[in-house]
Amino acid sequence: MVSTAQIAFLKGHGTENDFVIIPDHDGRLELSPAAVAQLCDRRAGLGADGVLRVVRSAAHPEARAMACEAEWFMDYRNSDGSIAEMCGNGVRVFARYLQRAGLAEEGDLAIATRAGVRRAHIAKAGPDGEPGGVTVAMGRAALPEGDVTVTVGERSWPARNVNMGNPHAVSFVDDLADAGNLYTAPGVSPAAAYPDGVNVEFVVDRGPRHVALRVHERGSGETRSCGTGACAVMVAAARRDGADPAVLGHPVTYTVDVPGGRLVISESPDGTVEMTGPAVIVAEGVLDASWAGIEPAAHAG
């Protein structure tokens, strides 16, 4: 039986969307929802918006079919312990971890996620030694038909349904303060549009092809940034502005400000969305497995 007395961890963030990183290359650990919530607790735990478990694709049942394309699988969990299909900021931080651990170099790499394989590019470090940004090909946005409404208190706004591997409801408002307290999930209707819950973005204009957002992430509450949310916002804004790349015949780029920084989102005529932003590892150490409630996986030996 593998010893789990101490477990290595790292802490990182992408535009202040922060994560506990658990290296578990051979899939020897079991992360229960309660263990994830304990790790992410900002007063009694390490504190994070989510957990990135780093597992070889071949060692994880949900990723084995992708092992021929991507060696590493991002097993992402929201801070309440629930499983999410994708996390755009998380992918960048995941790539930075692989680089720091000597498992990836500057340049291109593929990462398996529950939303499929995502292609990342780690830019070269700057002349001052600062790490370069990370660009991730986020796939194509799906735009389900049907009217959606977002409600906060007694106010409601129409929303655009955008799926970036996970679901989003994007509303354009006059002031980001209109979103109120986003630690409480806004109302979204019809509920049937989002059977597995939804991330909700409130968006204002800052200038030509420049927007800012606040976001409620399902399972986490308000976060300082949401990568897939920024992509969903860019797609929704481009359609609103008559800037569909498929119609224009050339890529369209928006600057998207989030509370924790800035992301640059581009969409190509073929529908591929790319996100570029920072990814920073801020700490590493070991934790007591018994405190966190992390157990060996049933197949570990």
What is the rounded average pLDDT of the residues 171-190?
95
Q: Residue 38 in 3-state DSSP?
A: helix
Q: What is the pLDDT of residue 300?
A: 55
Fold of 148-276: Diaminopimelate Epimerase; Chain A, domain 1 (3.10.310)
Query: Does 89 carry a binding-site annotation?
Result: yes
- Which of the following is catalytic: 40, 68, 226, 231? 226
Q: Tell whether the model's pLDDT for residue 176 goes beyond 90.
A: yes
Q: What is 6-133+280-296's CATH number?
A: 3.10.310.10
Catalytic site includes residue 231: no
Q: At which residue do the structure tokens 């007395």 appear?
A: 5
The domains spanning 6-133+280-296 and 148-276 adopt the same CATH topology: yes
Query: Does 228 carry a binding-site annotation?
Result: yes
Query: Does 88 carry a binding-site annotation?
Result: yes
Rounded distance between C-alpha atoms, residue 212 and residue 87, angstroms: 19
Q: Tell whether the model's pLDDT for residue 63 goes beyond 90.
A: yes
Q: Find out whether 152 and 175 touch, Cβ atoms under 8 Å.
A: no
Query: Does 240 carry a binding-site annotation?
Result: no
Q: What is the pLDDT of residue 299?
A: 62
pTM for the full predicted model: 0.90
- What pLDDT, in 10s, does the model give residues 274-296? 999 999 999 999 999 889 888 88
Catalytic site includes residue 87: yes
Query: Does 78 carry a binding-site annotation?
Result: yes
Rounded distance between C-alpha atoms, residue 301 and residue 39, angstroms: 24
What is the rounded average pLDDT of the residues 16-44?
96
**Helix (H) and strand (E) counts for the chain?**
5, 20
- What pLDDT, in 10s, does the model give residues 12-26? 999 999 999 999 999
Domain spans in the chain, listed from the N-terminal domain onward: 6-133+280-296, 148-276
Q: Tell whether the model's pLDDT for residue 230 goes beyond 60.
A: yes
- Which of the following is catalytic: 40, 68, 87, 231? 87
Q: What is the pLDDT of residue 3?
A: 47
Q: Tell whether the model's pLDDT for residue 5 goes beyond 70.
A: yes
Query: Does 161 carry a binding-site annotation?
Result: no
Torsion 237-241-245-247 (CA) sign: positive
